């Protein structure tokens, strides 16, 4: 069974909404009152090669050292690791990384190139990010997810 990236995003948004409702309920109760709400979402850590990636903290580390990359590259990596092995079209990436903004495809290419440099990846025989010519990108690295 395949789960689309859109489904994953929808579950995360619903879980975030539930956490927000819990906070609002707690603040509305008299002192000492409490509400029990089961949380279904926890931040995830993605492990691949020597890298550790925590999207919610916008943190990419190689072994124990943080790697500096731009916010758009972080957003691209987040989208790709949340859909490992799946083709993510160039248009989907542009829509997620630059919502409601018109950008040229060259911006996407430049950010993917910067991301590859940070990951010490290469477009030919990639370890992590494969290009599907004319269509988009795919995360191809061995990926472990830790919650």
pLDDT digits (tens, 9 = 90+) for 112-126: 999 999 999 998 999
Does residue 66 share a domain with residue 1? no
Q: What is the pLDDT of residue 123?
A: 86
Does residue 10 share a domain with residue 82? no
Q: Helix, strand or coil for residue 119? A: coil
Does residue 52 share a domain with residue 24? no
pLDDT digits (tens, 9 = 90+) for 98-112: 999 999 999 999 999
Q: Which domain holds residue 6?
A: 1-41
Q: What is the pLDDT of residue 11?
A: 46
Does residue 10 share a domain with residue 77? no
Q: What is the pLDDT of residue 43?
A: 82
Does residue 115 share a domain with residue 48? yes
pLDDT digits (tens, 9 = 90+) for 8-48: 555 455 445 545 545 555 555 555 555 555 555 568 999 99
Output phi, psi for 99, to 5 deg.
-65, 140
Note whether 135 and 90 are within 8 A (CB).
Answer: yes
- Is the sign of the CA dihedral 38, 6, 123, 103 positive or negative? negative
The arrangement of strands across the sheet holding 45-48 comes to: 65-66, 59-62, 51-54, 45-48, 144-146
pLDDT digits (tens, 9 = 90+) for 47-86: 999 999 999 999 999 999 999 999 999 999 999 999 999 9
Alpha carbon distance 58, 54 (integer Å) = 6
Find how far residue 48's CA is from the centre of its chain: 14
Task: Using DSSP bridges, classify how beta strands 65-66 and 88-89 pair: parallel, antiparallel or unpaired.
Answer: unpaired
Model-level pTM? 0.73
């Amino acid at each position: 069974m395949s789960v689309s990236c859109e489904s994953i995003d929808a579950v995360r948004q619903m879980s975030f909404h539930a956490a927000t409702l819990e906070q609002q309920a707690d603040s509305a109760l008299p002192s000492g009152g409490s509400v029990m709400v089961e949380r279904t979402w926890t931040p995830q850590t993605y492990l691949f090669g020597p890298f550790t990636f925590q999207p919610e903290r916008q943190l990419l580390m190689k072994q124990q050292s943080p790697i500096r990359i731009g916010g758009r590259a972080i957003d691209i990596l987040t989208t790709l690791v949340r859909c490992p092995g799946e083709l993510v079209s160039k248009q989907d990436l542009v829509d997620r990384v630059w919502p409601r903004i018109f950008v040229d495809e060259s911006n996407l290419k430049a950010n993917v190139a910067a991301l590859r440099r940070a990951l010490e990846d290469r477009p030919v025989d990639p370890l992590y990010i494969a290009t599907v010519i004319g269509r988009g990108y795919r995360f191809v690295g061995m990926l472990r997810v830790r919650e």
